[in-house]
Amino acid sequence: LFFPSRPCCLEALLNEAAAPGEPARPCPCPLPRGDTSLSRLVRRLLSARRSLDLCIFSFSCPQLARAVHLLHRRGVRVRLVTDAQYMGLHGSQIGRLRHAGIQVRHDQHSGYMHHKFAIVDQRMLITGSLNWTTQAIQSNRENVLVVDDAECVKPFLDEFERIWEEYNPANYSF
Amino acid sequence: LFFPSRPCCLEALLNEAAAPGEPARPCPCPLPRGDTSLSRLVRRLLSARRSLDLCIFSFSCPQLARAVHLLHRRGVRVRLVTDAQYMGLHGSQIGRLRHAGIQVRHDQHSGYMHHKFAIVDQRMLITGSLNWTTQAIQSNRENVLVVDDAECVKPFLDEFERIWEEYNPANYSF
């Protein structure tokens, strides 16, 4: 998937995921519907049934946050790792997601936690240059690869578990 | 490949690539030798025989610049796309590479050219979260995927050609 992605309305997609089978209320916004890189990314995330492991440096896109929140409400185990310096920036969605009960951990060193990957159901890896921000989605040249080849996914699963444990608050050293 | 990569001496690797077969002068620096994520990345780049297509948002790592310069001197066709705002930052290697005769193009819009990928000989894709900066290599949590599956590489080749043409100075609109 390549970005920038043109602006599009994701209401139908998100509402259908929130209340499957219910009659869709048409969204009054003037944004075009249809398939974009962003809608394809959201669709892949929403396909999660059991788990979603996220390592996202900068996360401020409200639509992606809604998708993640929705998965959490649906009972999918969401774990989110992010960067300590970027999680507090204006517009960050991390606080909202944490409030909603999602487990969040962050680095505690001076380098950045600069990964931008997601693993769906421990099987599908979504990774690339894209931070989960509206600026990146709508304005930047970005790429996102979707891979389900176990040989590629496994090292990312291992990296996630390693980071998740390293950033466990029980191990804080201050 | 995952980062941070511990500091290491790449002199032997780079000298061998610059003058294959010549007796290596031992480097007096105290850095450890041996295999690291950075040395593996450099090795992959140095395997180029015909072409190296680079889309790098931020490029300030002197060792990676040496590898690229070396390939250029060896007759490999190097094309480099970068971000207009980041190419002028202190420490950027873009000016040096351009001076050395390497073709460089950059975006001319307000969004970032945020890709960080390389394509070796139109066959091997090297892509991930890693900017080519010493800070990213030594301090950040980063990932780099190396893929030679044609189905994955082809869209990146197309994206490179699209960007290369779009950023052609002949098409400048100001």
ipTM: 0.91
Q: Does B165 touch chain A (CB under 8 A)?
A: no
Relative to beta strand A77-82, strand B103-106 is: unpaired
What are the angstrom distances between the C-alpha of A118 and each of A61, B5, B24?
15, 22, 44
Query: CB distance A107–B139 less than 8 Å?
Result: no
Task: Say how far apart CA B122 and CA B79 lie, in whole Å.
Answer: 12
To the query of whether residue A121 is one of the catalytic residues in this protein, the response is yes
Shortest distance, CA A147 to any CA of chain B (angstroms) = 9
CA dihedral sign of residues A125, A128, A134, A138: negative
Q: B152, A145: Cβ pair inside 8 Å?
A: yes
pLDDT in tens, A83-140: 999 998 889 999 999 999 999 999 988 899 999 999 999 999 999 999 999 999 999 9
Query: Domains in chain A, ordered, with CATH?
Result: 2-16+32-171 (3.30.870.10)
CB-CB: which of A130, A138, A159 is closest to B143?
A159
**Shortest CB distance from A136 goes to which of B2, B114, B128?**
B114
Q: Catalytic annotation on B154?
A: no
A113 contact B CB<8A: yes
- The one-character DSSP state at A75 is T
Distance between CA atoms of A109 and A129, rounded to whole angstroms?
22
Distance CA B101, CA B99 (A): 5
Mean pLDDT taken over chain B? 94
B9: pLDDT confidence band, cut at 50, 70 and 90?
A: very high
- List, for residues A125-171, the tens digit of each pLDDT value: 999 999 999 999 999 999 999 999 999 999 999 999 999 999 998 88
Phi–psi pair at A66, nearest 5 degrees? -60, -40
Interface test with B, best of A143, A146, A147, A158 (most B CBs within 10 A): A143
Q: Do B2 and A155 make contact, defined as CB atoms within 8 angstroms?
A: yes
Check: CB of residue A56 under 8 Å from CB of residue A89.
Answer: no
